[in-house]
Structure 1
Amino acid sequence: MATGQAPRNPIPAMRTYPPVEHPVVVIGPQYLAQYPVELAVNDFKVSDINGTLVFKVKFKLSSINRLFLNDAAGNTLVNLRKKTMTMHGRWEAFRGESKEENDLLFTAKKSKTEVDVFLGNNKGEVPDFKVKEGYSKSSRSILLRDSNTMIAQVHGRDTLAIMPNVDYAFIVALLVVILEGINPDDHREGAALKGINGVIA
């Protein structure tokens, strides 16, 4: 599949979820589905409910503290970089393999038990999305801003439930940050790869 070509959407989820009022697009409109999507994560390969590979996460030995989200064809959609020596654990997500400021898609930082997510053009203090712990520490909800409008849920370390009209590639990129456990006290070189069972490029 050539870069930029619309992907084959994942198989619809069995369960139903209410659609968001306006489409949520961060990585690209080709990753919107008009139906709810459930994805499974296994060794950082992301598949739909039929087991069809949708995304995979890689890291490169030459790129410490960076992770790469690829589509099923191997095209790099996003690279995620952990910033070190900051007061809060912070990640930056860039389009493709770029590190340029104009390709910044979002930043994410941990604040107590929450993760605040700011889109690349948001220079303010109010996040565009929030990740909050659910009833158990193994479940999390991804919400629009400070509202109770949920756009996705993370169940444990291996299941994603995504609402209709939500960029599911963005949610998977955000899941990488969530699972990595943004740790404001861990600034060691290479800490971003700790616990990641990804694919070495």
Structure 2
Amino acid sequence: MAQTTSYLQAQMENPITVVSPNFMAPSPVDLTIVKLMSFSGGDFNVIDVNGNVMFKVKGKYMSLHARRVLHDAAGNPILSFQRKRMSLHERWVVFRGDSSNSKDIIFSAKRSSYIQFKTSLDVFLAYNENEHVCDFKVKGSWLERSCTINAGDGTTIIAQMHKKHTLNSIVLGKDTFAVTVFPNVDYAFIVALVVILHEINRPSSQSTNN
């Protein structure tokens, strides 16, 4: 508990903004990310603890790059992300709004290594062009749906996710994830990372069809 408290205190002192400061809160934010059944295979709803829809992720049907767009509750595009073709490490590139222009890149994420026994994702902000050291890291166990998102030093946790079992998810066959975003951390950024992590770990037969 003391270790977790120190993480919370650190985030209060050092806000992390990647997408926008509009998506930050002074206390932990608990979100549920629900994968929906859709033609594109890439649709999600993001719900808060009161059942309100915070974001919607919509997949572009028949997109060659497995393109996804994150919308706010009003339907405005916040960011878009797509899989980079011919990438051994399953790199995804994230753009501001509904853009796909390189000048609008916010960050990218990729597997830390081609072969993995544990989940490990490296995240690089747009200005980190040499990529010698990642800015954020996702690590844990995808099979157990238990992962942490860390700042670049690898020790400061900024969000945690785990599998959430509900009667509705079992009946409909949905993937449902619970995510706790730490104080003063950009939760739109965290949602994008969790969706990318899900897409990277989809069976290849599903990924290549979208």
Please, what TM-score do these two structures have when normalized by structure 1?
0.80
Equivalent residue, structure 1, for 2:187: 168
Q: State how far apart, in whole Å, the 1-side matches of 2:76 and 2:17 are.
A: 19
Cα distance in 1 for partners of 2:197, 2:207 equals 17
Match of 2:155 among 148, 156, 165: 148
TM-fit CA distance, 1:96: 0.6
Is the 1:180–1:192 Cα contact (8 Å) retained in structure 2?
Answer: no
- 1:90–1:182 CA contact under 8 A, matched in 2: no
Segment of structure 1 superposing worse, 79-88 or 68-77? 79-88
Equivalent position amino acid for 1:177 in 2: I
Map 1:127-146; keep pairs closer than 5 Å: 127-133=134-140, 137-146=144-153
* 1:126 has 2:133 as partner: yes
Specify the alignment match of 2:8 in structure 1.
18
CA deviation after TM superposition for structure 1 residue 134, in Å: 5.2
- Which secondary structure state, in structure 2, belongs to the residue aligned with residue 172 of structure 1? helix
Query: Deviations 1:122-179 (Å, cap 9, x if unpaired)?
Result: 1122000000005973100000013310000111241000000000011001111011
Which deviates more, 149-158 or 114-123? 149-158
Larger proportion of helix: 2
Asked if 1 retains the 8 angstrom alpha-carbon contact of 2:57 and 2:68, the reply is: yes
- In the TM superposition, residue 59 of structure 1 has moved relative to its aligned partner by 1.3
Query: How do 1:86-125 and structure 2 match up within 5 A?
Result: 86-111=87-112, 112=116, 113-124=119-130, 125=132
Task: Quickly say closer, same or farther: Cα 1:56–1:173, change in 2 above 3 A.
Answer: same
- 2:199 corresponds in structure 1 to 180
In 2, the alpha carbon distance for the partners of 1:151 and 1:74 equals: 27
Distance in 2 (alpha carbons) for counterparts of 1:189 and 1:53: 26
Is residue 78–residue 96 contact of structure 1 (8 Å, CA) maintained in 2? yes
Aligned to 1:51: 51
Give the length in aligned residue pairs. Answer: 177
Pairing 1:191–2:190 present = no
Classify 1:28/1:91 alpha carbon distance in 2 versus 1 (closer, same or farther; 3 Å): same
**Contiguous gaps of at least 5 residues in structure 1:** 1-15, 194-201
CA contact (8 A) 2:199 2:207 kept: no
The Cα of 1:74 is off from its aligned counterpart by 0.5
TM-score of the aligned structures, taking structure 2 as reference length: 0.77
Letter in 1 for 2:16: V
From the superposition, tell whether residues 191 and 47 of structure 1 become closer, same or farther in structure 2 (CA, over 3 Å).
same
The whole-number CA distance in structure 1 between the counterparts of 2:21 and 2:199 is 26
Shift of 1:191: 2.3
Alpha carbons 2:70, 2:80 under 8 Å: kept: yes
TM-superposed deviation, 1:60: 2.1
Q: What's the Cα RMSD here?
A: 2.4
Which residue is 1:31 aligned to? 23
Deviations, residues 93-138 of structure 1 (Å, cap 9, x unaligned): 0001111222101100002330000001111220000000059731
